[in-house]
Amino acid sequence: MLLTLLFAVVIFTFIGVMLGIITGLVPGIHVNTVATLILIFSPAFAGFAVLVSSPLSVSAEYALVLVSAMIVGNLITHTFLDFIPSALFGAPDEDMALSVLPAHRLVLGGEGEKAIRLSASGSLYAVLIGLVLLIPAYVFFGILDGYNRLEPYIPYILLLVVSVLIAEESEKGGKFSLYALLVFLMAGIFGWVVLNGGLFQNSPAVFPGMEESAPIFAGLLGLFGFPALIQSMGVVGNITADDINSHKDVKEGVLRSSFIGTVSGAFVGWFPGITSASATVLASNLSDRRDSENFITAMSAVNTSNAVFVILALFVIGKARSGALKVVQGLLHPGLWSNPASPPSLIFLLLFSVVLSAAIAYPLTIRSGKFFLKRLEKIEYRKMSLTIIAFLLLLCIVLAGPVGIYVASVGAMLGLIPPLVGVNRVHLMGFLIIPVILYLGVGV
C-alpha cells in the first residue's frame, strides 16, 4: 500500500512539475494563481486523482493528498525556474526581484549559464539544508514556542536590517546614506499606496485570479524589471556565449551563500506579512551584495527555502503563509504536529514531493537556461531589450490593466533613481518592507 501510494505521489508531483515549468518560465503567471484554480475545480481534480490512483489500489481518501502533492511539485519547481525570466528578460516576481541586476551583469558578461547554474545550485542546496534544519526549526518554533516569542519583534528586526543597509552607504560618503534613506522612504510610500490604496480594487481589467498579485507584479516590474532593461540598452553587440565546460569549478562560497539564504528564507514561512523579499533584504546584508555570484545563490536559496518551510509551518502552527499552502490547507485540513514523537504522515508525503520536485527541477532549470541563452546569443541585446519591454508592457496591461501600466511607469521612474545617485537598488525593497512594518507594527 505504501509503495503504491508513493508511486501515485510521484505521478502527481510530476504533473506539478509540468505546471511549475509554465508558472516559472512565463512572467506574470504565479503558482498561487494556479493553486487557486485547482481549489476552484478541486472536485474535478479529486475525481482525476481517484481515476489515476484506483488502478494502483490507492484508497480514494488519498485523492486530495495527491492533488496537494501536485501543488507542492508546482511550488518547488517554480522556485527553481522563476530565475530565468528574471535574469534573461528582466521580468521579476515578488521573490526574485533583487536578482535582476546581478543576473543581468553576468548575462551581459557572457556568463549567463553560470548565473543559471548558481541559481539552481542555491535552490537545490536550500532543499537539502532545509531538510536538515526541519527538526531544529520544529523544536524552536513549536516546542519552545519561538513563533509567539519572536513575532512582536519582527518590525524591529526589519528596521535594524534596513538601518544597517543604509548606514553601509556612508562608506561612499555621508550623502549616500541620505540618498539611500530617501530612496527607501519613497519606495515605501509608493508600496503602501499601491498595496493599500485600493488602486486595483474593482478594476474590471485585472486578469481573473490576479487580484492580489497584480499590484505586486506591476510595482516590482516598474522598480526592477524596466530599469534593468533600460540600462542594458546601452550595451552594444550580442550576448556572448560562455564556455559550457567552464562550470565544473563550483565556488566554495556557494554552500555558504546557500546556507545564509536557507536560514533567512526559513523565517519567512512563519510570520504574517513577511515575504521572500523581506528575507532577501536580510540575506543580502549577510552575503556579499557586491559579489553577483554569491548574491544570486543566496537569493535563490531564500526563495526555495521559503517554499519548504511554509509546509512545516502549516503543521506546527496551523498557519498557511503562502497562497499555495492556503489551498493545501483548504484541501487537507491537517492537524497540528503536537507530539514530537509522532509527526503526521502527511508531512512526509509532502516532503517526499519536495525532494522529488527538486531532483527534477535542478537539471530542468539548467537545460531551460541553455535553451533560451542559445537563442539570445543570435539577437542584438538593444533590440532584444526593446522587444522585451514591449512584451512586458503588453503582459502588464493584460494581467493588471491600465492601472498596472500607470503603477509600473511610476515604479520605473523610481527604479532609475538608485543608479543615478549611486546607491544600491536593494533600498527599493522599501516597496514591501515599509508596508510589512506598518502592518505588523501598528496594524495599518
Cα–Cα distance measured from residue 14 to residue 16, given in angstroms and rounded to the nearest whole number:
5
At 64, list the grid cell. 486530495
Cα–Cα distance measured from residue 138 to residue 260, given in angstroms and rounded to the nearest whole number:
19
Only one residue has cell 514591449, namely 390
Residue 306: give the domain boundaries. Answer: 2-238+250-441
Confidence at residue 245, expressed as pLDDT on a 0 to 100 scale? 42
Cα–Cα distance measured from residue 132 to residue 256, given in angstroms and rounded to the nearest whole number:
15
Cα–Cα distance measured from residue 399 to residue 200, given in angstroms and rounded to the nearest whole number:
11
For the CA atoms of 98, 293, 303, 377, the dihedral, rounded to the nearest 10 degrees, stands at 80
Q: Apex CA 269: angle with CA 88 and CA 251, to 5°?
A: 45
245 domain-assigned: no
- Beta carbons within 8 Å of 290's beta carbon, 6+ residues apart: none
pTM of the predicted protein model: 0.77
What count of Cα atoms within 13 Å lies in the side-chain half-sphere of residue 352? 20
244 domain-assigned: no
60 domain-assigned: yes
What are the 10-residue block averages of pLDDT along the chain, 444 residues in total?
88 96 77 80 91 88 94 95 76 52 67 87 95 93 88 82 84 88 94 86 67 80 80 57 47 80 83 63 60 80 91 90 86 87 90 96 93 73 75 83 91 91 85 84 59
Confidence at residue 233, expressed as pLDDT on a 0 to 100 scale? 66
Confidence at residue 69, expressed as pLDDT on a 0 to 100 scale? 96
Q: Measured on CA atoms in the order 277, 278, 283, 284, is the torsion positive or negative?
A: positive
333 domain-assigned: yes
Tell which residue, 38, 52, 16, has the closest CA to residue 358: 16
Confidence at residue 383, expressed as pLDDT on a 0 to 100 scale? 74
State CA 278 to chain mean position distance. Answer: 11
308 domain-assigned: yes
Cα–Cα distance measured from residue 304 to residue 316, given in angstroms and rounded to the nearest whole number:
19
Cα–Cα distance measured from residue 430 to residue 344, given in angstroms and rounded to the nearest whole number:
39
Confidence at residue 27, expressed as pLDDT on a 0 to 100 scale? 64
Confidence at residue 29, expressed as pLDDT on a 0 to 100 scale? 67
Confidence at residue 207, expressed as pLDDT on a 0 to 100 scale? 65
Tell which residue, 15, 22, 19, has the closest CA to residue 52: 15
Only one residue has cell 519536495, namely 354
Cα–Cα distance measured from residue 388 to residue 170, given in angstroms and rounded to the nearest whole number:
36
Cα–Cα distance measured from residue 101 to residue 87, given in angstroms and rounded to the nearest whole number:
8
311 domain-assigned: yes
243 domain-assigned: no
Rounded to a whole number of angstroms, the distance between the first and last alpha carbons of the chain is 51
Cα–Cα distance measured from residue 380 to residue 392, given in angstroms and rounded to the nearest whole number:
18
- Chain segment 283-316, per-residue pLDDT in tens: 666 665 556 777 888 888 988 998 999 999 999 9
At 23, list the grid cell. 508558472
How many domains, in total, are found in the chain? 1
Confidence at residue 186, expressed as pLDDT on a 0 to 100 scale? 96
44 domain-assigned: yes
Burial 349-370 (b: 16+ CB within 10 A, else e): bbbbbbebbbebbbebbbebbb
